[in-house]
Amino acid sequence: MYRTIQISGHTLAQGTFVRSLGDGRIEIDAGHARLSGRPIATRNTSETVNIQSAFRKTLTGGQLRGGLLAAVAVLGLTFSGSGPAAAQDGVEILNVSYDPTREFYREYNALFTAWWTAQGNAPVSIRQSHGGAGAQARAVIDGLEATVVTLALSADIDQIAERTGKIPADWQSRLEHNSSPYTSTIVFLVRDGNPKGIEDWDDLVTGDVQVITPNPKTSGGARWNFLAAWGYAKQKGLDPAEFVGDLYKNVPVLDTGARGSTTTFTQRGVGDVLLAWENEAFLALESLGEDAFDIVVPSVSILAEPPVTLVDGNITSDAQRAAAEAYLEHLYSAQAQALALKHFYRAWDTSAAAPEDVARFPEVNFVTVEDFGGWPEVQPKFFGDGGIFDQIYEE
Amino acid sequence: MSDNTLSRPVPVTTEPPVARAALIGLAILFVALFLFAPLVTVFAEALAEGWRGVRAALSLPDARAAIGMTLTIAAIAVPLNAVFGIAAAWAIAKFDFTGKAFLITLIDLPFSVSPVVAGLMLVLLFGANSTLGGWFIANDMPIVFAYPGILLATLFVTFPFVARELIPVMIEQGPAEEEAALTLGASGWRTFFTVTLPNIRWALLYGVLLCNARAMGEFGAVAVVSGKIRGETATMPTMVEMFYNEYLSVAAFSLAAVLAMLALLTLLLKSLLEWRHADLLAATRRH
């Protein structure tokens, strides 16, 4: 019998039924591998699952009296198939990530769960949360129970480590390449044909150019934007504070996250140039048409290293720790690196990647955050309360 | 002379027809441009890839989870607020006590507080950094970034709708009928069910429908406490935003269209009831 199973949060697999594992999960033969997970569909089973999940939700709601339960259960039934992947007994990973990684992690989660179960491990359910890196870090500090965080820059993870103690201070040395399995840089996305003739950073401070960038207080990408502009001004011997100040005078709207800025620029049609993550710029080209926008690579940009780490304090079991550690380590595997390259990240290992995914990246003259003294120094100096950004923006 | 002018029908509007046409035209243009056009755009965008696209979008697990979530939230929040609203309106309209004005202000609070602030209040109160929130999390019952937080946020922002709708009606009706029932020997509950409830049922219905519309549509407060976990703590409005940000515009607008349909259904239900029971309505509710 041909069945569909749910391996993790949003990953489905299909194959012929092999056996029932007795705990509600079944094993199927998907052709390339044997996979196990919860069966989907067949009215009866999905209905029972949803009554359970509706009751579970209501009970955790803790708000309810008698008769309402029935109404809620009926609602749960009517919208069957909706309940959150009901893997109560399995291992769950909550990956709290920043904005532009949505597409990458959607595919990586499928890749990882398939690989993880193929290794003979119990299936793991992966849940995703995306938002501006600063806002996401804030949510983890306020109690969002992230298993792993994959944010835009190490300063946000430092904040979590410092304020909650759930991550050791030396977290960044736990994985290779400063715990950054992929890197990116900042480029300009301009409207088709580059009508304003924007070629480099100094074209952004002239009077008639509108620049779109998110708020450095809440967005990691925006902080990289800021430092890249600062780095350019320093290399050219200009006064960096004045240069960056002039640049922010041309910013009509500060969104909270990188993806918000991208939609402001691409879909709402505001602004002449978007300071964007390179991967975000490529994605906009791919999703919205090559003929709508052009990418301009400035003479100087910054090497952006978005790091990943385990939130040790939120780990509830050894099984969860093992799965979460494997989840992060597998990001460095050739397949995952190829996937990162496919999603326009500059990854380290190109061995399994398609040649066109590697060839697409132009040469960039990089400055790094180490040139500024590293994030522990940069974060308070530039973006802390009353820091350089505040002083510039108040003018 | 004066008799003549009086016997002739005098038009109530004295403006020239051109001015009248211009004003009416302006009003219609305004309604078409700012109310009707956006609504049509939502449906047009949803159908950009035909019905198949809409069906595919709405069968995404995340979309179905969001629909289920929103309806469940509304199914819990609306009855609870109906009960609290009736109780509050009953107390305010039929009894005199100190602190009544304060209670009325308190009920109005969610109207005047920005939903984002409401969300942040919950985060501060139940977040990991507060004593209360710390206790809940330690006992494996997280409030914010989980289901209860979203429910609390919705309850908060929709609280005034039922009470606000009932209070003027109940004050206008006064306590006379209840007092009559009591002197005839009816118990408190009997009075409530046979005298008060029939008198307020239309206002109550109105309040419940408004409350329901807001409960399903609330974005600000819910977005702050949701934690944005896909398929789990995402309601329809937050999911619409997520889909839109992921360049899945058909999915975003399909879900938005469903939300709009639910709102239109609510309005239709309201109009239908008003039309069927126009006379009763006129008798019990005068605005």
Residue pLDDT, tens place only, B266-275: 888 888 877 8
Alpha-carbon gap, residue B15 to B20, rounded angstroms:
7
Q: Is the pLDDT at A70 greater than 60, yes or no?
A: no
pLDDT level of residue B282 (50, 70, 90 thresholds)? low
pLDDT at position B157: 93
- B158 or A73, which is more confident? B158
Facing B247 at nearest CB: one of A142, A144, A287: A287
Is residue A82 scored above 60 in pLDDT? no
φ, ψ (nearest 5 deg) of residue B140: 60, 35
CB A258 within 8 A of CB A132: yes
Are A75 and B246 within 8 A, CB to CB? no
B128 contacts in chain A (CB < 8 Å): 141-143, 164
Question: Residue A380: what are its φ and ψ, rounded to 5°?
Answer: -70, -35
CB contact under 8 A, B229 and A287: no
Nearest CA distance, A127 vs chain B (angstrom): 7
pLDDT over 90 (residue B153) = yes
For A362, B78, B190, B196, the CA distances from B193, given in Å and listed in that order, are 76, 20, 5, 6
Of A261, A257, A247, the residue nearest A200 (C-alpha): A247
Q: What is the pLDDT of residues B58-74, one digit of tens each?
A: 998 889 999 999 999 99
Mean pLDDT across A2-21: 71
Q: Nearest CB to A60: which of B129, B133, B141? A: B141
The verdict on A59 touching B (C-beta cutoff 8 Å) is: no
Q: Looking at beta carbons, which residues of chain B come within 8 Å of A159?
A: none
Mean pLDDT of B15-22: 88
Query: What six digits make up the tokens of A303?
Result: 């090497």
- Which of B148, B228, B232 lies at the smallest CB-CB distance from A84? B232
How much is the average pLDDT of A362-373? 87
Give the pLDDT of residue B232. Answer: 84
d(CA A120, CA A27): 12
pLDDT digits (tens, 9 = 90+) for A125-157: 999 999 888 888 988 998 898 999 999 888 889
Nearest residue, CB atoms, A143 vs list B69, B137, B242: B137
Specify the pTM.
0.71
Residue A2: what pLDDT? Answer: 67
Cβ of A79 within 8 Å of Cβ of B68? The answer is yes
**Partner-chain residue, chosen from A68, A142, A263, that has the shortest CB–CB distance to B79:** A68
Nearest chain A residue to B246, by CA: A102
Which residues from B are below 8 Å from A263, CB to CB? Answer: 244-245
Residue of A nearest to B150 (CA): A61
Fold of A183-304+365-392: D-Maltodextrin-Binding Protein; domain 2 (3.40.190)
pLDDT of residue B140: 81
Backbone angles phi, psi at A348, to 5 degrees: -85, -40
User: Which span out of A6-10, A70-74, A176-180 was modeled with the highest average pLDDT?
Assistant: A176-180
| Overall average pLDDT of the A326-348 stretch | 93
Q: How far apart are CA B198 and CA A246, in angstroms?
A: 67
Option in A79, A130, A263 nearest B244 (CB): A263
Cβ within 8 Å, pair B147-A60: yes
Pairing type for strands A273-277 and A211-212 reads: parallel
A63–B69: do the CB atoms touch at under 8 Å? no
Tell me the pLDDT of chain A averaged across its residues. Answer: 82
For the segment A328-355, the average pLDDT, to the nearest whole number, is: 91
With pLDDT > 70 as the criterion, what percentage of chain A qualifies?
A: 84
Q: What is the CA radius of gyration of chain A?
A: 23
Averaged pLDDT for residues B136-164: 89
Q: Between chains, do B247 and A288 touch, taking CB under 8 Å as contact? A: yes
A34 has pLDDT over 80: no
Q: Which of B121, B245, B246 to mutate to test the interface with A (most CBs of A within 10 A)?
A: B245
Report CA A181 to chain centroid distance, whole Å.
13
pLDDT confidence of A42, banded at 50, 70, 90? very low
Q: Tell me, what's the pLDDT at A289?
A: 76
H helix runs in chain A, sequence order: 43-61, 68-78, 102-118, 133-141, 154-164, 176-179, 220-235, 240-249, 258-266, 278-288, 318-329, 334-342, 355-359, 375-378, 388-394
Mutation to test the B interface, candidates A57, A101, A107, A219, most B Cβ within 10 Å: A57
Instruction: Report the alpha-carbon distance of residue A33 to residue A7 in Å, rounded.
Output: 13
Nearest neighbour of A68 by CB, restricted to B62, B76, B146: B76
Percent of chain B with pLDDT strictly greater than 70? 94
Question: Does residue B133 have a pLDDT over 90?
Answer: no
| Binary contact (B147, A61; C-beta < 8 A) | yes
Query: How much is the average pLDDT of A68-88?
Result: 41
Name the closest residue on chain B to residue A267, using Cα atoms: B247
| Share of residues in chain A with pLDDT > 90 (%) | 32
Residues of A in contact with B228 (CB under 8 A): 129-131
Average pLDDT over residues B200-229: 89
A304 to chain B, minimum CA–CA distance in Å? 22
What is the pLDDT, as a whole number, of residue A31? Answer: 67
Mutation target among A38, A79, A97 for the B interface, most CBs of B within 10 A: A79
3-class state of residue A294 by DSSP: strand
For B1-17, what is the mean pLDDT? 68
A38 in contact with B at a CB cutoff of 8 Å?
no
Search chain A and give the residue with CA nearest B79: A68
Structure token digits, residue A302: 């910054």
Domain ranges, ordered by start, for chain A: 2-39, 91-180+306-359, 183-304+365-392
Per residue in A276-314, pLDDT (tens digit) is: 989 888 988 888 877 889 999 998 999 988 999 999 999
Average pLDDT value for residue range B77-98? 92
Q: Which residues from A are below 8 Å from B141, CB to CB? A: 60, 62
CB within 8 Å of B125: residues ≥ 6 apart: B132, B133
pLDDT band per the 50, 70, 90 thresholds, residue A363? confident
pLDDT at A21 over 80: no
Label residue A69 by pLDDT band (50, 70, 90). very low
Residue B216, pLDDT above cutoff 70: yes
A127 at B interface, C-beta within 8 A: yes
Place of tokens 């309209």: B93
- CATH of the domain spanning A91-180+306-359, picked from 3.40.190.10, 3.30.460.20, 3.55.50.30, 3.40.50.2300: 3.40.190.10
- Mean pLDDT of the region A192-209: 88
| Tens-place pLDDT, residues B47-57 | 988 889 899 98
Contact check, Cβ <8 Å, A83/B227: no
**Average pLDDT rounded to a whole number, residues B21-27:** 93
CATH topology identical between A91-180+306-359 and A183-304+365-392? yes
